[in-house]
Amino acid sequence: MSLSIGLDIGGTNIKTVVIDQAGNHLHQSTRSTGQHYQAEDEWVWKCAVRDVFFELKKEFGEVETAIGISAPGLANADNTAIACMPGRLFGLEHFDWSDYFGERVWVLNDGHAATVAEVRFGAAQAVKNAVLLTLGTGVGGGVVIGGELYQGHYQLAGHVGHTTVNANDVHWDATGMPGSIEEHIGNESVLRRSHGRFQSTYELVAAYQQGDHFGTWLWLDSVQKLAVNLCSITNLLSPEVIVLGGGITKAGDDLFRPLQSFVDLYEWRPSGKQVRIVQARFGEFAGATGAAAFAMGKQ
């Protein structure tokens, strides 16, 4: 039996899984990266990753294992390292994990990894063409075409959060895109969008549930823009399914019901065909699971 180890490296935690070929989780855990380290102390978090890895190798070392890493940023062309991630996890860019571990390691953008998890073992399992959006602090994602992750030129594909729903918006996101969907539904912008009234999407949705007029308008405005964005994606890529993950999807029916109503209004449906919009199966371990699945597929 062959297994796969997946490590999802974030600014706060390292999430790890071990999966078998059917996607069953034989192990999952969370370890701190040592988030209070100074910029010059990159080896604090790198040593934390190494320690987790060798603990897993000790436990599962007698079994053939593939190794995958999920991390923020853009992976390089051969998926051996993160090529671009300014401002976070100092020392991540161009770091050779295969050399560090002494074994071949496959490295993916965290949104791409979550996409692989859903297509291999989750809500889009066995689907040939799919798109995933992670709705959280920002908006990430990934694209699958013909059953394979499409990373595109410079591995930029799938960054749906940086596509615009308002080109005249005065607010530009981190990539310089005006009026991106990330700026209109991401949790990071709630305080600005609500003129200081709501600190988080959780508070905004709670106000919507209570019938607050301003909260209702702001939440439905965000959901309407998401629907326009999803319909634009459908017109461009024609996926069979769009998977929504991330913390904002915890709103459940308060997200999915109005979203479907707006999609019903905007979606082009030749011959009655329509895209399915579903909630992701994997939560906080999506990145680790997808990294493990991607590495397993390379064996």
The kind and range of the H/E element at 243 are: strand 241-245
Burial (CB count within 10 angstroms: exposed 0-12, middle 13-18, buried 19+), residue 222: buried
Same domain, yes or no, for 194 and 162? yes
Instruction: Give the pLDDT of the chain (299 residues) as one tens digit per residue.
Output: 689 999 999 888 999 999 999 999 999 999 988 755 555 578 888 999 999 999 998 888 777 899 999 999 999 999 999 999 877 788 899 999 999 999 999 999 999 999 999 999 999 998 999 999 999 999 999 999 999 999 999 999 999 999 999 999 999 998 999 999 999 999 999 999 999 999 999 999 999 999 999 999 999 999 999 999 999 999 999 999 999 999 999 999 999 999 999 999 999 999 899 999 999 999 999 999 999 999 999 97
Report the pLDDT value the prediction gives residue 291, as an integer from 0 to 100: 98
Same domain, yes or no, for 77 and 201? no
Same domain, yes or no, for 94 and 141? no
Same domain, yes or no, for 253 and 291? no
Residue 246: DSSP 8-state: S
Same domain, yes or no, for 210 and 153? yes
Same domain, yes or no, for 264 and 152? yes
Phi, psi of 273 (to 5 degrees): -70, 140
**Is 54 within a domain?**
yes
Same domain, yes or no, for 7 and 101? yes
Contact yes or no for 2/22 (Cβ under 8 A): no
For the stretch 185-208, pLDDT in tens is: 999 999 999 999 999 999 999 999
Domain range for 101: 3-115+285-297
CATH number for position 170? 3.30.420.40
**Beta partners for 27?**
18
For the stretch 128-146, pLDDT in tens is: 999 999 999 999 999 999 9
Same domain, yes or no, for 94 and 199? no
- Using CA atoms, how far residue 17 sits from 32, 58, 155, in Å, is 15, 14, 24
CA distance 17 to 26: 7
Report the pLDDT value the prediction gives residue 279, as an integer from 0 to 100: 97
Report the pLDDT value the prediction gives residue 24, as an integer from 0 to 100: 95
